[in-house]
Amino acid sequence: MPNDPYKTLGVTKAATTEEIKKAYRKLVRTSHPDLHPDDAGAEARFKAIGAAYDILKDPETRARYDAGEIDGLGAERPRRQYYRDFANSTENAYQQGRGFGSNVDPADIFAEILRNRARSSGGDTFGGRGFEAPGQDVRYSLDVPFLDAARGAETRITLPDGQSLAVRIPQGTEDGQMLRLRGKGAPGYGGGPAGDALISIVVRPHPVFRRDGDDILLTLPITLDEAILGGKVTTPTIDGPVGLTVPAGASSGRVLRLRGRGISRAGQKTKGDQRVELKIVVPPDPDAGLRAFLSDWRKTHAFDPRADLLKEAGI
């Protein structure tokens, strides 16, 4: 049978899914055009084994093929360009040496080749840079307000030469993180690409918010009556104030979690939380009524929150 996918992958009809996968992976290694840039037949082979694998990897399509319902051609794979097709392209920014270009004096080319050979024989890596060299990376440091780092922001830095550079601070940027601005460093040599600007971020502390990974930490003062009776209070978050329900009987140190009120990052589905630590704050000058009530209350209620502590202190 023409286009027999079993034959293409070199497996028998009784092969297990695992065996088929193994055979396919081996063929990818030997036939991928990008892993064999000089092999003119690689692309056709790779296409054939891809189509064969498309049929056999799925037990359902495999069964339909076995029953003769579909032929071995499989679905047409979309035409694609391989990375090797760009090996000589000026579009290819990943290549370290970008070739000689058409507008270079040939005498220079040979001088460069000889220079490069001399350098590479001295133990330098060959095939990398040579005829032109990328510019140096330039490092900067940037102070960022806490909220700008948490929520993301646009800012500008002024370079030593007086120019200013737009910098986008991504959401959730952490203290010490490095931002890389491609091509914003020193200019390249001999037509080489410019280096990068490397910006290390210093996040300024916030008077109220702190950060633990993607969680925001905050200490929230509550009153004595809110602690005992519970109630709805307003707490700041990095995206503005929200309501928070304090449960009745909450002590100082109790941590309440506001789900999804922390830091969100690009490409990450779950947001961090805001963790609110409660702190009971009594009025600076308790009034006579409150004093009187508590003096009475104390006489009839024996609650010692330090009992366990003293026992555990072991002294």
> Please, which residue, 127 or 286, has the CB nearer to another protein?
127
β 164-169/178-181 pair status: unpaired
Report in angstroms how near the CB of residue 74 gets to another protein at its nearest: 15
CB of 157 closer than 8 Å to CB of 167: yes
Does position 127 interact with another protein (CB under 8 A)? The reply is yes
Does position 61 interact with another protein (CB under 8 A)? The reply is no
| Residues in contact with 151: Cβ distance below 8 Å, sequence separation at least 6, in sequence order | 171, 238, 239
Q: How many residues bind another protein (CB under 8 A)?
A: 43
> Please, which residue, 110 or 297, has the CB nearer to another protein?
110
What are the beta bridge partners of residue 258? 274
Q: Which one of 14, 67, 266, 302 is in contact with another protein (CB under 8 A)?
A: 266
Q: Which one of 89, 163, 164, 251 is in contact with another protein (CB under 8 A)?
A: 89
Q: Annotate 94-162 with DSSP letters as a single string.
A: T-SS----SSS-HHHHHHHHHHHHHHHHTTPPSSSS-SSBPPPPEEEEEEE-HHHHHH-EEEEEE-TTS
How crowded is residue 126: how many other Cβ atoms within 10 Å of its Cβ? Answer: 12
Q: Which one of 13, 67, 69, 81 is in contact with another protein (CB under 8 A)?
A: 81
Does position 123 interact with another protein (CB under 8 A)? The reply is no
Tokens of 23: 């055979």
Does position 62 interact with another protein (CB under 8 A)? The reply is no
- For tokens 């993301």, the residue is 152
Does position 160 interact with another protein (CB under 8 A)? The reply is no
Does position 124 interact with another protein (CB under 8 A)? The reply is no
Q: Is 23 left (phi over 0), alpha (psi -120 to 50) or beta?
A: alpha
Does position 37 interact with another protein (CB under 8 A)? The reply is yes
Stretch that binds another protein, among 109-117, 199-207, 280-288, 306-314 (CB under 8 A): 109-117
Query: By the criterion CB under 8 A, which residues form the site for another protein?
Result: 24-25, 28-29, 32, 34-35, 37, 78, 80-89, 91-97, 99-100, 106, 109-110, 113, 125-128, 130, 168, 181-182, 266-268
